[in-house]
Chain A
């Protein structure tokens, strides 16, 4: 095996673009905004990621996938850090990521609609656009969905149920 060229940060970022979220495979981990830092010192590569939700079961898989992708390039001195603060927010999701999500059938987060640390009991619901027929006549079915990052909605026009990637800020 030919020894790999010494890593550069730009190249590592490029490789990370190919690592996808195991639960929403159209999104790369860069689209999702969970890669916080890449550091290269000689042959040592350190990648710092942050969880979307504390209990997100995809985090270990993502760390393994990053490791495998970098190993495949011949990089062996790897450290993957898990960092809690600053806490992840959907504001870090890229524009391209939001477009891919909608095309995939999941309504992307609408910025500025998270209640943050305010409770807003029975507050007015956000108008979420149906990713299928693009109608804004939709309603919340459940605050909680198939994964921690999603809520369940239904379209009042085409009647399809769909996932909404919750705004989290």
Chain B
């Protein structure tokens, strides 16, 4: 590591219990960016056309950068000497706190675009709220990542429109992807017990406003794509509490292989 770590002066002001809660929440955000970034990186060399292969690799890289900032902060909040690498490579699937959406398989390009659109729509509106967050470090990470997240949402929104209002085949595929993946979108703004406590303490943004922004954007994009917004979908949850679909275990097997096989390995 070439950089000096900069201790957040605000850390000393948090009571130990609050610091532990904030640690869990930052970990959840880091896990989310890491798992989705890993999924996108699986496309590298397999994209439908070169430009979109590059786009997905670029988005994966932005997410990985955000992941590192978040894990570094989480490690400081925990204060037990674990590093960003320990947090990413040495925790099991039940300890991961990402929502179910981001661990869903890539499927075809339409599946990946819909998964990305649902996440980007949340990420963009969430980071906007986080900009003025009480926790300065989270606000700084949001300030950096929001510019990138805006670019991602533009990319995935335009692809929803192209696929929906495109050919018969692209439309049929994007409709199938929406039918499959929409049920994972609710978890993003459904607060867990931990999130409710942090919201009550004013440490993280309330999700109601974020949800309203997301709904308005989704409606506008789907209307332009001539697609219907799914109604009355039963939303699946559990990822943010560590109850995952079978897919996460396979992701971690690949992601953690080197560190599990050769503990403490460095380049």
Contact = CB atoms under 8 A, between A and B. Distances in A.
A103 interface: no
B140 interface: yes
B140 A119 contact: no
A133 interface: no
Interface in B140-173: 140-141, 143-148, 150-151, 153-155, 157-158, 161
Given A55-B64, A148-B58, A63 B154 contact: no
B51 A141 contact: yes
Contacts of B250: none
Contact of B51 (A55, A84, A115, A152): A152
B6 A142 contact: no
A87 B51 contact: no
Interface stretch (A4-12, A22-30, A74-82): A74-82
B61 interface: yes
A116 interface: yes
A120 interface: yes
Size range of the interface on A? 35 or more
B139 interface: yes
Given A87-B144, A143-B55, A145-B54, A53 B65 contact: yes
Interface string B50-75: 01101101110111111011000000
Interface string A111-125: 000111111111000
Interface in B32-87: 51-52, 54-55, 57-59, 61-66, 68-69
B10 interface: no
B128 interface: yes
A83 interface: yes
Nearest to B4: A79
B3 interface: yes
Given A54-B65, A87-B143, A121 B221 contact: yes
Contacts of B55: 142-144
A138 B116 CA distance: 29
A129 interface: no
Interface in B116-141: 128, 139-141
B3 A80 contact: yes
A interface: dominant SS: loop
B2 interface: yes
Interface in A81-113: 81-87
Contacts of A63: 2-3
Contact of A117 (B57, B58, B128): B128
A135 interface: no
B2 A55 contact: no
B146 A115 contact: no
Nearest to B221: A121
A51 interface: yes
What are the 6 closest A-B residue pairs judged by CB atoms, nearest first?
A55-B65, A54-B65, A63-B2, A85-B140, A142-B51, A55-B61
Interface of B: 2-4, 6, 51-52, 54-55, 57-59, 61-66, 68-69, 128, 139-141, 143-148, 150-151, 153-155, 157-158, 161, 217, 221, 224
Given A54-B65, A115-B150, A143-B151, 12 more contacts: A54-B148, A64-B2, A85-B140, A87-B143, A87-B147, A115-B151, A121-B161, A144-B55, A144-B57, A145-B58, A148-B61, A152-B51
11 contacts: A53-B148, A54-B148, A67-B2, A79-B4, A82-B3, A85-B139, A85-B140, A118-B150, A143-B154, A143-B155, A144-B57
